[in-house]
Structure 1
Amino acid sequence: MKRIITFGTFDVLHVGHIRILQRAKALGDHLTVGVSTDALNFSKKSKMTVYPEDQRLEIIRSICWVDDVFLEHSLDLKGEYIKQFDADVLVMGDDWVGRFDEFKTLCDVVYLPRTEGISTTMTLEEIRQSA
């Protein structure tokens, strides 16, 4: 069984999120997704999520390509999460190219292209402008 792991905040779910999860699952048999905690997201982006971590976890858990979910508490623990979930492949968006190459000693690292023209930041900005 080939095990895939990926990570993200997955706030304000959009087609880009769905597509990366679908493509990640296509690389193996089992997809585990680490969802950033509210505290981790705030430490990375200095802003709160629209949806709290328990709701984001439930949303991601409900997606048909996702086999397992957990809360990611720290960026510094990625290697530990890879080991804990026995991942064969780490999948990240190509906006992170090179940032996770250090984990190539633990598993394969694949950077998938992001869906052009969509992001949570762009979606939220469009909502603010139309309000």
Structure 2
Amino acid sequence: MSERVVAQGTFDILHPGHLHYLREAASMGERLYVIVARRENVTHKPKPVVPDEQRREMVGALDPVDEARLGHPEDIFVPIEEIEPDVIALGYDQHHDADGIRAALADRGIDCEVRTASPREESEDELLSTGRIIDTVLRERGD
């Protein structure tokens, strides 16, 4: 079994989909390190509403997580180089190109496997996306 696994994400408003991803990532190795994206680095969706350090603290408090840290302000691969993971676990719906990540890792001499976690089966009464949670709050409690 692999020893160190890295998972990463924004983790703006925690929901069961995040927990599923982190539990599955943790099952891929012995220690799970989570890199929480800094607000200024989130460009593929709306910026997080929860502050960086608060998101890091909340993720770090989850049972599957051994260590949570904020991403590097300029280079997303710096924490990966520091952790030296055996596996990078991508969320099933993350915007990353797995082949592009493999190529970037190879260019930097980082030898690790890239895997994609499975989706959580969504029940009718669950909200498994931060965007859907925000939309629901605005619809039900907005002015």
TM range (shorter): 0.7 to 0.9
Within-5 A mapping of 1:1-16: 2-16=3-17
Counterpart secondary structure, 2:115: strand
Runs of 5+ consecutive residues of structure 2 not aligned to the other structure = 123-127
Q: Where does 1:117-128 land on structure 2 (aligned, <5 Å)?
A: 117=122, 118-128=128-138
CA distance 1:22–1:75, change in 2 (3 Å): farther
Distance 2:41 2:96 in 1: 21
Deviation at 1:82, TM superposition (A): 2.3
Task: Quickly say closer, same or farther: Cα 1:44–1:103, change in 2 above 3 A.
Answer: closer
> TM-score under structure 2 normalisation?
0.79
Residue 98 (structure 1) shift: 6.8
Q: For residue 21 of structure 2, what is the aligned residue in structure 1? A: 20
Within 2, Cα distance between the matches of 1:18 and 1:56? 14
Q: CA deviation at 1:81?
A: 2.7
Separation (CA, whole Å) in 2 of partners of 1:17 and 1:26: 14
Higher alpha-carbon Rg: 2
**Is 1:114 aligned to 2:122, yes or no?**
no
Greater helix fraction, Structure 1 or Structure 2: 1
Q: CA RMSD in A?
A: 2.1
Q: Which segments of 5 or more consecutive residues in structure 1 lack a partner in the other structure?
A: none
Identical aligned residues as a percent: 29
Aligned partner of residue 32 in structure 1, secondary structure: strand
Q: Write out aligned runs for 1:1-131 (5 A).
A: 2-41=3-42, 43-45=43-45, 47-73=46-72, 76-78=75-77, 80-96=78-94, 99-104=97-102, 105=106, 106-117=111-122, 118-131=128-141
Aligned 8 A contact 1:38 1:52 in 2: yes
* C-alpha distance in structure 2 between counterparts of 1:20 and 1:62, whole Å: 15
Contact 1:97-1:111 at 8 Å conserved across structures: no
- C-alpha displacement of 1:77: 2.5
Equivalent residues, number: 128
